[in-house]
Amino acid sequence: MAEAAACVLLEPGHEGAIYELVGTRGLSQHEVAATCAQILARPVRATGISRRAWASKAAGLSEYARSSLLKMFEYYENNVLTGNPNVLRWLLRREPASLADFCRNLAADHS
């Protein structure tokens, strides 16, 4: 994402543009956890907290912000984050890193 942001900030022609940056087609939280577990060779689980518990921790947010985020959380619990990697591919002028690549790089950086 940082590389894409640098392209947008440093190259002309992006004024007023809005980009949806997605590196891969839709994955559920559990699919992300399974990929991380496979690459890291250790258990990884996607877990959550109740909406009530989250809302109590988000006391500093406005009611509108809390309500909007809770709706977003509910949507993503029931659907995958959908998108198309073509925009990111276009900005980077190369294939975006996969989730597996990201996990491998993260593991290498912390070993």
pLDDT at 71 (0 to 100):
92
Whether 55 is in a domain gets the answer no
Whether 2 is in a domain gets the answer yes
Q: What is the pLDDT of residues 2-36, one digit of tens each?
A: 899 999 999 999 999 998 888 777 788 888 999 99
pLDDT at 111 (0 to 100):
77
Whether 38 is in a domain gets the answer no
Instruction: Provide the 3-class DSSP secondary structure of residue 82.
Output: coil
Residue 78 near residue 62 (C-beta atoms within 8 A): no
pLDDT at 16 (0 to 100):
92
Alpha helices in 41-109 (DSSP H): 51-57, 63-78, 86-92, 99-109
Q: What is the pTM of this model?
A: 0.68
Whether 53 is in a domain gets the answer no
pLDDT at 80 over 80: no
Whether 49 is in a domain gets the answer no
Whether 69 is in a domain gets the answer no
Q: What is the pLDDT of residues 35-59, one digit of tens each?
A: 999 998 999 999 888 888 988 888 8
Domain boundaries, position 10: 1-25+83-111
Instruction: Provide the 3-class DSSP secondary structure of residue 69.
Output: helix
Looking at the 3D structure of the chain, how many domains does it have?
1
Residue 99 near residue 32 (C-beta atoms within 8 A): yes
